[in-house]
Structure 1
Amino acid sequence: MTGERRAPSKTRSMVVGGVFVIVGVLCAVAAVVIAARAGGDLSTVVGSGGANRTGGAAPAWFAIGVTAVLALLTSVTGVFIAIVGWRAADGAEREADR
């Protein structure tokens, strides 16, 4: 191994960034589904499963908030990955042209 790193391709950068954005959109859809199941009452307890007596239940406002924050962070990360990867690939192409 020479220790040199390969520059990402523009296609790979867009695909990986797109996957992150799709996961973010799915998290946003999950937040909407939670709101729809709560029927507009954000104090409704939602959730199931878990190991304790409450079964992992939490108020709808908490579940929507956590899911919305995850959606935002994942989408922003995907856009950031795509932009940084695109710029790195562009720089590598310019170096190869010299």
Structure 2
Amino acid sequence: MTALNRLAATIAARKGADPDSSWTAKLLAKGPEKCAEKFGEEAVEAIIEAVKGDRARLTSEAADVIYHLLVMLAARDVTLADVEAELARREGTSGIAEKAAR
């Protein structure tokens, strides 16, 4: 199991946890809108670091983005497996062709 799969499993396990005992549970208890807001904040921070060019800071912010993306997905009952299946469906398709099909 990869670190990403372990993280997704931990987030799923925290869905029913006491919000006072877990940051993830606290975020999930605030609802999908708050989870989306936190994801957006982290995405902006990653963009800033990408522009600055600090590789270590970008790596750190990217990890935050991935964590908050998984929390946001969990808040809407979308699993990492669901996302992986969608990526597999798109595999081998040109990005231009895929966008045109939408």
Relative to the length of structure 1, the TM-score reads: 0.41
Higher strand share: 1
Higher helix share: 2
Q: Highest CA radius of gyration, 1 or 2?
A: 1
* Higher normalized contact order (CA 8 Å, seq sep 6+, divided by chain length): 1
Relative to the length of structure 2, the TM-score reads: 0.40
